């Protein structure tokens, strides 16, 4: 960590103490929202470090039965008494959240085909507008929304785009509209879309799919949707680009990096220099085992959470061990392809508003970003788009579906993209293609975003990118493999899972900080879309 970054980290540490995570460096007009580690202090840390619950997210989502200050005071008074039981104290003073299935009497009927089953799941995963509860980590939303399922009992940013693919196939257009409006509300209220609508997610966002959601909704409701959500898209862009006009070549600030040639590109980041409340114990232990600066470790762990790829050898210095994570050193190819799409979308809306000059500025920015994506991310030795380490000034050699994002979005030179498509198709066949679809990486590290696991969002981005660059046969093949696997597991278990073992289709997926989850929003959405797009049989 260089001196500039260290000063920045110290600043955020002070903010964590004195502002207690209220707006995490954003505009002071935003509401003060305390995460549970700040509200409950020692009680929170004791519950997490003593592992009162197997999943650290459980206590972060608990709802107090009375005023939090009273609970904290009673804990301080009682904790040293003989016979005190921490778990009983928590159960007496908090409502403990259960799984998503507890919200419904829905029973799986595996005689139904998977399409019917998924359509019947939408009401199970639906949540109505929230009410504010003192001491709860939930950030209330004004419109209905779909949750992923299982332990994920709130809306998630990038998950929701892939869920929307299925909602569209099911004719649930108003739900898509409601969810886009919820995300616009979050941008307008907090300055960005948090990882999820929880206070402990406010320090970070997730891959910026908002403009892609707007585009999806516009496909149904018309291009005026771009104009309607233009202010929100602009505000999100400002969040990701904050400081771009101030930093000098060779410097990094929050989510932007200015390279020595003056090129500005984005990275993943999190504004809070502490363990993640939902994985507090895991982060503390990882930082301790690493032997590295703890604040630096929390920065890398949280940035990986913002990427959605938490965790993966993609971010590891040795490509094997979480203790070597260095996420914030990378300029990620997927993020910058999404930022390209956001710039193009803003330009489109500005042009519709007859703001030709401003539209031209955004379109020029997108054009420059497209050129930089080729310059910094196209890895000639690997014939694939890979991340760029701006500390070492070297490209990563790590192959993952993230390298397919430019094929989904970048429009600068379609003939060239078609030429590159033949190269990446060969790499995918050699490195990632498995019986159940594409693996998340080449490496099996025990982390959930590595082999042998496959994930619906990355299957979709790979298929979409291949189709768009002319590799339609491979795209269709991957789609068929994935749908067959999803249907196989559904018939055997009655569940649609968060992730799948694509290498051995007779074994479940594994790895990560929590048990396998069913529900499951993005699997449902991608599966429905692929079945329709490729006219695949429903089983």
Cα Rg, the chain, nearest whole Å:
23
pLDDT exceeds cutoff 70 at 294:
yes
pLDDT of residue 512: 86
Please check whether residue 91 lies inside any domain of the structure. yes
Which span out of 410-419, 433-442, 514-523 was modeled with the highest average pLDDT?
433-442
Q: How many domains does the chain have?
A: 2
101-138 tens-digit pLDDT: 444 456 778 789 999 999 999 999 999 999 999 999 99
pLDDT of residue 411: 87
Answer with the one of 95, 110, 141 that is the final residue of a domain. 95
Range of the domain at 493: 413-539
Please check whether residue 17 lies inside any domain of the structure. yes
340-372 tens-digit pLDDT: 999 999 999 999 999 999 999 999 999 999 999
CB 405 within 8 A of CB 438: no
CB 300 within 8 A of CB 315: yes
Please check whether residue 458 lies inside any domain of the structure. yes
pLDDT of residue 2: 52
Give the model's confidence band at 29: pLDDT under 50 very low, under 70 low, under 90 confident, else very high. Answer: low
pLDDT exceeds cutoff 70 at 24:
no
47-105 tens-digit pLDDT: 999 999 999 999 999 999 999 999 999 999 999 999 999 999 999 999 999 844 444 45
DSSP annotation string for 3-33? HHHHHHHHHHHHHHHHTTTSSTTS-TTSPP-
Please check whether residue 537 lies inside any domain of the structure. yes
**pLDDT (average), residues 255-284:** 97
Give the model's confidence band at 16: pLDDT under 50 very low, under 70 low, under 90 confident, else very high. Answer: very low
pLDDT of residue 8: 46
Q: Is pTM, for the whole model, over 0.85?
A: yes
Answer with the one of 63, 95, 127 that is the final residue of a domain. 95
**pLDDT (average), residues 195-207:** 98
Give the model's confidence band at 30: pLDDT under 50 very low, under 70 low, under 90 confident, else very high. Answer: low
The catalytic site residues sit at 310, 498
Please check whether residue 535 lies inside any domain of the structure. yes
pLDDT of residue 105: 56
Answer with the one of 95, 115, 148 that is the final residue of a domain. 95
pLDDT of residue 283: 98
Please check whether residue 339 lies inside any domain of the structure. no
Q: Calculate what percentage of the chain has a pLDDT beyond 70.
A: 93
Q: Calculate what percentage of the chain has a pLDDT beyond 90.
A: 89
pLDDT of residue 41: 98
pLDDT exceeds cutoff 50 at 316:
yes
d(CA 123, CA 106): 9
CB 538 within 8 A of CB 519: no
Please check whether residue 424 lies inside any domain of the structure. yes
pLDDT exceeds cutoff 50 at 26:
no
DSSP reduced 3-state for 518: strand
Output the furthest CA–CA distance in the chain (Å, rounded): 74
Please check whether residue 116 lies inside any domain of the structure. no
Regarding predicted confidence, which is higher, 3 or 446? 446
d(CA 438, CA 395): 22
218-242 tens-digit pLDDT: 999 999 999 999 999 999 999 999 9
pLDDT of residue 513: 87
Nearest to residue 454, comparing CAs of 381, 386, 530, 365? 530
């Amino acid at each position: 960590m260089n001196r500039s970054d260290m000063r920045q980290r110290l600043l955020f540490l002070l903010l964590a103490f004195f502002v207690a995570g209220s707006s995490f460096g954003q505009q002071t007009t935003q509401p003060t929202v305390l995460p549970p580690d700040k509200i409950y202090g020692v009680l929170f840390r004791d519950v997490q470090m003593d592992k009162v619950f197997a999943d650290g997210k459980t206590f972060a989502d608990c709802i107090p039965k009375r005023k939090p200050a009273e609970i904290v005071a009673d804990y301080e008074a009682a904790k040293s008494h003989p016979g005190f039981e921490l778990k009983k104290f928590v159960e007496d003073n908090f409502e403990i959240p259960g799984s998503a299935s507890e919200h419904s009497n829905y029973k799986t009927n595996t005689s139904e085909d998977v399409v019917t089953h998924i359509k019947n799941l939408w009401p199970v995963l639906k949540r109505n507008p929230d009410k504010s509860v003192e001491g709860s980590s939930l950030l209330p939303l004004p419109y209905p929304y779909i949750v992923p399922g299982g332990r994920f009992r709130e809306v998630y940013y990038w998950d929701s785009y892939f869920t929307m693919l299925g909602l569209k196939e099911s004719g649930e257009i108003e739900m898509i509209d409601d969810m886009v409006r919820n995300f616009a509300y979050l941008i307008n209220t907090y300055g960005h879309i948090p990882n999820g609508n929880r206070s402990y997610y406010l320090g970070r966002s997730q891959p910026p799919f908002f403009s892609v959601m707007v585009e999806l909704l516009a496909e149904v409701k018309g291009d005026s949707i771009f104009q309607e959500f233009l202010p929100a898209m602009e505000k999100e862009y400002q969040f990701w680009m904050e400081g771009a006009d101030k930093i000098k070549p060779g410097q990094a600030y929050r989510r932007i990096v200015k390279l020595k040639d003056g090129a500005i590109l984005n990275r993943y980041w999190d504004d809070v220099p502490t363990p993640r409340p939902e994985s507090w114990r895991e982060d503390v232990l990882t930082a301790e085992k690493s032997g590295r600066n703890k604040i630096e470790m929390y920065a890398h762990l949280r940035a990986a959470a913002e990427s959605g790829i938490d965790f993966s050898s993609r971010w590891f210095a040795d490509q094997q061990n979480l203790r070597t994570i260095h996420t914030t050193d990378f300029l990620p190819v997927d993020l910058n392809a999404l930022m390209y799409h956001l710039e193009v979308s803003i330009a489109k809306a500005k042009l519709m508003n007859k703001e030709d000059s401003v539209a031209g500025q955004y379109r020029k920015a997108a054009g420059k970003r497209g050129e930089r994506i080729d310059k910094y991310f196209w890895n000639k030795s690997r014939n694939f788009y890979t991340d760029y380490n701006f500390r070492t000034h070297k490209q990563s050699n790590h192959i993952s579906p993230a390298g397919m994002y430019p094929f989904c979005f970048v429009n600068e030179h379609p003939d060239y993209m078609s030429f590159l498509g033949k190269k990446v198709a060969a790499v995918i066949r050699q490195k990632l293609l498995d019986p159940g679809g594409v693996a998340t990486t080449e490496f099996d590290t025990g982390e959930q975003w590595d082999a042998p696991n496959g994930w619906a969002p990355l299957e979709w981005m790979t298929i979409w990118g291949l189709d768009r660059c002319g590799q339609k046969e491979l795209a269709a093949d991957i789609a068929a493999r994935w749908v067959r696997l999803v249907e196989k597991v559904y018939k055997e278990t009655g569940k649609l899972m968060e992730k799948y073992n694509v290498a051995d289709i007779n074994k479940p997926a594994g790895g990560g900080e929590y048990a396998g989850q069913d529900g499951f929003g993005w699997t449902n959405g991608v599966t429905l879309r692929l079945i329709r797009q490729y006219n695949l049989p429903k089983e």
